[in-house]
Amino acid sequence: MALDPDKLIVRPDKSAALRLAMTWTPLYVQMFCELKNEGGRVQFQNRFTIFREKIAAYVTLYDDERKIGSLLLKGLLGEEGSRNFCLESAQWSEKELSEFFTYICGAEGGQEFIDAFNFPDSEEEWKRREEFFHTLSIDEKAKATTREICFFAGLFGQMFNTLALMTHGAKLTTLVPLAIAGNDDALLKAAQVDRYLLTHHPYFVERKRKAQDNGEIEFLRKLAVRETNPNLSGRIQYPGLFMLFGVLESLQWLDDLSHVEILDLCDEMGLDRYQNRIEDTNSLTKRLLAYRRFQKTGGVSMH
């Protein structure tokens, strides 16, 4: 059966999942550490903030999780490369497709993929990147811009999906479809994680407008509570470890890895065991239970 280039999602095998976790977790931890005085909202560096505002329509990706994977692929391979990949792989078995993603995420084929997550960490590096962009032809600039939009849209979608898993035990790609189907509790949880839903997702914008027009005081009160208690505003004692749990869960591997394997991954990433109180597997079990409790409460008291 042919792959739809606009709807692509594959569960990576273990080696690829571990490599992705090692790539994504430090990036998400860095973003977590940049939480400022917005009550727990994610505060990106200025350039990321501006770019996120320009592509705020990425929130519509939550309607279907496969679209997030598709845009990340387009960002890495380009529009034409992504389309050609889907055509060439149309007859692949699920095993062959999994093996391909293992390859591009592995040591042999994944360096370009890994490098894509290494953003400039200084103004000087950003300027060099901009100078290089200006040396491109008009056609090359258009292609580069499209790839960057696709990549960052997919990245924002993936990151907030992970934050939703950490906060509520459910991805935005689960909560948003439920909200659209009329589940206001799912809407409230989703809006708590990514506030852009309330300003850039058609359903969320219209639902809030109707509530205001109809005087739905109780719904608006609950929405205000969620807006003033954004994701991760609760006290997380082990942010690095919780981020790792969230990434592994988003890759569908958290429950399938042994505690020893998770501890080894922590060591390889340089995630300090003492700081996170995970000296052994018993300690890790306690941290996992704490993670699940946090998901159940969403880090917010509604009383």
The answer to whether residue 7 is domain-embedded is: no
Contact predicate 233/300, CB 8 Å: yes
pTM of the full structure: 0.75
Distance CA 35, CA 244 (A): 17
> Considering 134, 159, 184, which residue would you say is the last residue of a domain?
159
**What is the pLDDT at residue 125?**
80
The answer on 186 and 252 residing in a single domain is: no
By residue range, what is the domain housing residue 224?
A: 172-228
The answer on 102 and 25 residing in a single domain is: yes
The answer on 139 and 36 residing in a single domain is: yes
> Considering 228, 248, 270, which residue would you say is the last residue of a domain?
228
The answer to whether residue 303 is domain-embedded is: no
> Considering 183, 209, 228, which residue would you say is the last residue of a domain?
228
The answer to whether residue 121 is domain-embedded is: yes
**What is the pLDDT at residue 107?**
52
The answer on 150 and 18 residing in a single domain is: yes
The answer on 22 and 104 residing in a single domain is: yes
The answer to whether residue 32 is domain-embedded is: yes
The answer on 183 and 99 residing in a single domain is: no
Give how many domains the chain has, as a whole number: 3
**What is the pLDDT at residue 178?**
96
- Of 223, 237, 288, the residue nearest 259 (C-alpha): 288
Backbone angles phi, psi at 4, to 5 degrees: -90, 115
Taking the CA atoms of residue 215, residue 227, residue 117 and residue 139 in that order, the dihedral angle to the nearest 10 degrees is 30
The answer on 33 and 98 residing in a single domain is: yes
The answer on 250 and 212 residing in a single domain is: no
The answer on 140 and 64 residing in a single domain is: yes
**What is the pLDDT at residue 36?**
44
- Of 87, 55, 54, 51, the residue nearest 71 (C-alpha): 55
Q: Quickly tell me which residue has 């600039």 as its tokens.
A: 141
Conformational region of residue 61, where left means phi above 0, alpha means psi within -120 to 50, and beta covers everything else: alpha
The answer on 20 and 143 residing in a single domain is: yes
Q: What are the distances in angstroms from CA 302 to CA 175, 204, 225, 297, 299?
A: 18, 21, 8, 9, 10
List the chain pLDDT tens, one digit each, 303 residues: 334 433 445 677 788 788 888 888 887 776 666 544 444 565 555 677 778 888 999 999 999 887 887 787 777 777 776 666 666 666 666 666 666 666 655 555 455 555 666 666 677 887 888 888 889 898 888 888 888 888 888 888 888 888 888 888 888 999 999 999 999 999 999 999 898 999 999 999 999 999 999 999 999 999 998 887 766 555 566 777 888 898 898 888 999 999 999 988 888 887 766 566 677 788 888 888 888 887 776 554 433
